[in-house]
């Protein structure tokens, strides 16, 4: 009986080990494989509800009439975002008057716009790289600006955030295991404008994922949350953070083990620190042995593109994060 018990335990440990290895391999190999993005499969994404006219252009690749769009003769400072998913696409500093009847830009925010051969076989279509929304077409060689490129975009495909509004946005940084799952839940919270995954809390400048995994960088997998304080507050987001991961685990989260998977709150000011301390004390009074650390935000290094919005891109579900009410 003793030998059988030992054998079962060894078999269980072996199977767990195989599972962990498979997860790590998936996370590393994802960078060398093409991840299918919406415009491929967008079924897992959450989109803004569109009007019939917006759907005609954004989904069915139509074109709005020239000289009629909201942003054609529009010159405020700020950022143009995707109407359907909210991703930042263009900066106002790259907008120019091409006299064509549609908003024109001679550059995009890096990685935000995808180019594809148009159905007519001649033009190059541009779409939101995040959700696949149709934007318009891109043209080169017209010599209208020094960059010699023109993104001809339908106004109806865009929203706009003014620089003045952007100045009111705030940031929060949370580390709670694999940043894929942490981001998945935080980005859906009301009032969140955008999220990014990356690395924080270590001693390595601009680390790679492999360095964080296999070298002693000291970084934790972290999610940067940009939120509008007029629509939510830091405490609401911090409470959610403590409810979407297990804050009692030390240097791990589910099957992921290592100090990069630790639970940590990186605060940007004393108010955020006090809020986090208050929530930790509440959880301790509820009987939780909290392992979450607190540290000042000291530089956020954005992770590789294939890690951003991972579950939206792949249509998969988090494997080590689940919502559990604790407050």
Indicate if the alpha-carbon torsion angle 207, 212, 218, 219 is positive or negative.
positive
Q: What angle do CA 177, 180, 182 make, to 5 degrees?
A: 55
Identify whether 178 is a catalytic site residue: yes
How far is the C-alpha of 226 from the C-alpha of 139, rounded, in Å?
33
Sign for the pseudo-dihedral over CA of 86, 150, 103, 54 = negative
Residue 197 · residue 223 · CB < 8 Å: yes
Q: Which residues of 168-202 are buried (b: 16+ CB within 10 A; e: fewer)?
A: eebbbbbbbbbbbbbbbbbbebeebbebbbbbbbb
252 CB-near residues (< 8 Å, 6+ apart): 177, 258, 261, 262
What separation in angstroms does the CA of 53 have from each of 65, 207, 321? Answer: 12, 44, 38
Q: Considering only CA atoms, which of 148, 44, 142 is closest in space to residue 100? A: 142
Distance between start and end Cα atoms, the chain: 45
Catalytic residue among 82, 85, 128, 152: 152
What are 157's two structure tokens? 């495909």
Return all residues near 1 (Cβ < 8 A) that are at least 6 apart.
none
Coil, helix or strand at residue 83: coil
Asked about 320 being catalytic, the answer comes back as no
**DSSP of 129-141, one letter per residue?**
TTT--EEEEEEES
From the list 128, 131, 178, 320, the catalytic residue is: 178
Residues with a catalytic annotation lie at 152, 178
């Amino acid at each position: 009986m003793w030998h059988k018990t030992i054998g079962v335990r060894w078999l269980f440990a072996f199977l767990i080990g195989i599972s962990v290895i498979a997860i790590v391999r998936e996370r590393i190999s994802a960078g060398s494989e093409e991840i299918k993005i919406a415009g491929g499969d967008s079924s897992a994404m959450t989109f803004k509800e569109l009007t019939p006219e917006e759907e005609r252009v954004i989904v069915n690749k139509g074109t709005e009439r020239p000289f009629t769009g909201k942003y054609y003769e529009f010159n405020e400072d700020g950022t143009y975002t995707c109407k359907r998913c909210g991703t930042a696409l263009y900066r106002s500093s790259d907008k120019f008057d091409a006299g064509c009847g549609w908003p024109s830009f001679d550059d995009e925010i890096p990685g935000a716009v995808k180019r594809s051969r148009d159905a007519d076989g001649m033009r190059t279509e541009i779409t939101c790289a995040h959700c696949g929304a149709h934007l318009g077409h891109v043209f080169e060689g017209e010599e209208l600006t020094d960059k010699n490129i023109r993104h001809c975009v339908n106004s109806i495909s865009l929203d706009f955030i003014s620089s003045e509004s952007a100045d009111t946005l705030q940031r929060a940084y949370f580390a709670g295991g694999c940043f894929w799952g942490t981001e998945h839940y935080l980005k859906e919270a009301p009032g969140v404008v955008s999220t990014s995954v990356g690395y924080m809390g270590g001693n390595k400048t601009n680390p790679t994922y492999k360095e964080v995994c296999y070298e002693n960088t000291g970084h934790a997998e972290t999610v940067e949350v940009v939120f509008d304080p007029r629509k939510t507050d830091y405490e609401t987001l911090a409470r959610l953070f403590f409810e979407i991961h297990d804050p009692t685990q030390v240097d791990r989260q589910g099957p992921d083990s290592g100090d990069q998977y630790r639970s940590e709150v990186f605060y940007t000011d004393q108010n955020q620190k006090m809020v986090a301390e208050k929530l930790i004390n509440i959880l301790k009074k509820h009987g939780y042995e909290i392992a979450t650390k607190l540290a000042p935000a000291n530089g956020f290094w954005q992770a590789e593109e294939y890690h951003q919005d991972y579950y939206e891109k792949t249509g998969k579900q988090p494997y080590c994060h689940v919502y559990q009410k604790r407050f």
